[in-house]
Amino acid sequence: MERIVAESPRPDFLDVGIGTGIAARQFLAAGRKVLGVEVDARMAEWARQRGLDVEMMAFEAWDPASRQFDAVVSGQAWHWVDPVAGAAKAAEALRPGGRLAVFWNAGHPSPDLAEAFSAVYRRVIPDSLASRQWTTVSDAYSVLSGRAADGIRDVGAFGEPERKLH
């Protein structure tokens, strides 16, 4: 979060898939103005109850209405967005020099525990994100971040995507 704030010195942020507002509240605390876009009515209401501005719509169909933002961020949600259409919409909503930052949290249990988690998820819900996340840290979320990076590249409006593990 600190890096995104530091590298986006202007204040207007758009949070794609704002959910309950966990990331948005941290950006607000860092002095940013945040507008959320959320497809799920329950999540949007939850964020609104915490004082956040939210527009209800799938991001790919959302209309920025000539508004521009200094950063488009998405914490834990970009995998729900079409990677090419989402990157194109982000490019449309960003001011020149703006930043697109999509990020996820990845668990890091011990190898034995990771395998136990993975075995259960493969058995119960084999096609879920949870069934893939309990691999090595370097592989955690690599499918999601790879799809996001490919979509960003395909749009051609951004530089080469960076992948950071913290």
pLDDT in tens, 106-123: 767 788 887 888 788 888
Using the structure block, give the residue that is written with the tokens 């996820």: 104
Q: What does residue 56 show for φ and ψ, rounded to 5 degrees?
A: -90, 115
Q: For all residues of the chain together, what is the average pLDDT?
A: 89
Report percent pLDDT > 90 for the chain: 67
Q: For 108, what's the count of Cα atoms within 13 Å in the CB-facing half-sphere? A: 6
Average pLDDT over residues 35-60: 97
Confidence of residue 59 (pLDDT cuts 50, 70, 90): very high
Q: With 70 as the cut, is the pLDDT of residue 8 above it? A: yes
Radius of gyration of the chain, Cα coordinates, nearest whole angstrom: 16
- CA–CA distance from 73 to each of 26, 95, 117, 160 (Å)? 12, 14, 29, 17
d(CA 156, CA 166): 27
d(CA 136, CA 110): 9
Confidence of residue 32 (pLDDT cuts 50, 70, 90): very high
Structure-block tokens of residue 164: 């950071």
Q: With 90 as the cut, is the pLDDT of residue 138 above it? A: no
Q: With 60 as the cut, is the pLDDT of residue 87 above it? A: yes
pLDDT, position 116: 84
d(CA 15, CA 17): 6
Q: With 70 as the cut, is the pLDDT of residue 131 above it? A: no
Bridge partners of 35? 14, 53
